[in-house]
Amino acid sequence: MASPLMSLGQDDNRYQKSFQLFLERSSEHQCMQDFIHRQLPEILASIGDGKSHLNVIGVGSGAGTIDLEMLSVLRLKHPAVTVENEVVEPSSQQLHNYRVSVAQKPELDYIKFTWNKMTASEFEEAWKVKKLTKRADFIHMIQMLYYVKDPGATISFFQSLLDKNGKLLIILVSGESGWGRLWRTYRHQLCNTEISQCVTTGDIKSFLDSTGVSYQSYELPSQMDITECFTEGDEKGELLLDFLTEVLDFSKTASPELRAGVLQLLRHPDCSVESDGKVIFNNNLGVIVIDPLC
C-alpha cells in the first residue's frame, strides 16, 4: 500500500538541514574516517594496475568531505598519478559546497574534477547515450543507495565500469544497526515505494550472493545521540526524527499511533542504549567492496 506520508527527500532544504544535524549528533563521519585511514589504504594500493592516470567516480558525494579524505589516501598510495574525479550529485547546494572546498585547496591540482549535477540514473543514461568506453579505477557510493529505484541495477551498472583491479566501495547502514531494526518493523509505513530507501548492507549482500558477485565486507561501529527526539516540540528533535524516518515533518504528519510506535522502538534496547540520561541509537555502518566483473 502506498504511504500517504511525504518523503523527506522531496524537500532538499530540510533534507540537508536534517542531514547536517545528523552528522553533528552522530559519529558517522568519524567512523568512516577511521575506516579510510585503517582499511582503505590497502584497498586503494591494489587498484590502478600501474597506470599513471586514475579515474574515480563519486556517486552521491554531498559536500565532498569524505570524498576528499579518500582522495588524500589515494594520493599517498599513488603519489605520481594524475586523477580525473567525476562527481555525481543532484543537490546544487551540496555540489556548490564541494566546489568551494576544492577551490580552497590548490594542492588538489593533480585532480581534474568533473561536476555532474545529476542523479545516479541520469549519469547512467548520459554515459550510455554518449557510448563512453572509459573505465574507472575507483567508484564509491557512500550513504546514497537509499535514493535509487533499484540498488541492484545501480550496482551492476557501476560495477560494469570498473577497470582491471578497480574497486566499487559501498557504505550503507548495517543490517544489524538500529536502522535495520526500525526498517524491518516499519518498512511499509515509513518507506517510499518509489525508491529503495530502507536498504541496508544486509540487503546488498543478499543481492550480491544471489548473483555470485565477489566482495569484501566490514562493519563500522557508530552511534547517534537521539535524546532530543523524545522532547515533544523540540525543533532539533523533530529534524532528527525526519532524518530517522525519512518522512517530511514526521511528528506533524504521522498518525499518533505510528509516532508513538516509532518513538517507543527508537528507545528499545534493540535500537538504542540509554545512559546518563541520553538515548544513544545504534548507527553501525557496513562497507562492501566489490571487484570488477570477470
**Interface with ligand SAM by CB under 6 A: which residues?**
19, 59-62, 65-66, 88-91, 94, 119-120, 142-144, 147-148
Q: Which is nearer to ligand SAM, 91 or 174 (CB)?
A: 91
Question: For ligand SAM, which is the closer residue by CB, 48 or 90?
Answer: 90
Count the Cβ atoms, other than its own, within 10 Å of residue 189. 18
β-strand 162-173 against 82-88: which pairing, if any?
A: unpaired
Distance, CA of 32 to CA of 54 (rounded, Å): 23
Residue nearest ligand SAM, Cβ-based = 62
In whole angstroms, the minimum distance from the beta carbon of 212 to ligand SAM comes to 26
Catalogue the long-range contacts made by 203-209 (C-beta closer than 8 Å, 24 or more residues apart): 203/151, 203/175, 204/145, 204/151, 204/155, 204/170, 204/172, 204/286, 204/288, 205/175, 205/288, 207/151, 207/152, 207/155, 208/155, 208/288, 208/290
Q: Which three cell numbers stand for residue 123?
A: 549519469
Alpha-carbon span 114 to 102, nearest angstrom = 12
**267 or 285, CB closer to ligand SAM?**
285
- Which lies closer to ligand SAM via its Cβ, residue 11 or residue 270? 11
Nearer to ligand SAM, 26 or 94 (CB): 94
Q: How far is the CB of 136 from ligand SAM (least distance, A)?
A: 16
Q: How far is the CB of 143 from ligand SAM (least distance, A)?
A: 4
Angstrom distances, CA of residue 17 to CA of 7, 8, 23, 56: 15, 11, 10, 28
> How near is the Cβ of 172 to ligand SAM at its closest, in Å?
10
Query: Shortest distance, CB of residue 29 to ligand SAM, whole angstroms?
Result: 7
Least distance from C-beta 36 to ligand SAM, angstroms? 11
Between 153 and 258, CB nearer to ligand SAM = 153
Interhelix angle for 92-103 vs 65-77, to 10°? 40
C-alpha to C-alpha distance for 288 and 15, rounded to whole angstroms = 25
Name the residue nearer to ligand SAM (CB basis): 86 or 267: 86
Q: How far is the CB of 20 from ligand SAM (least distance, A)?
A: 10
**Angle, CA 25 vertex, CA 97 and CA 258 arms, to 5°:** 105
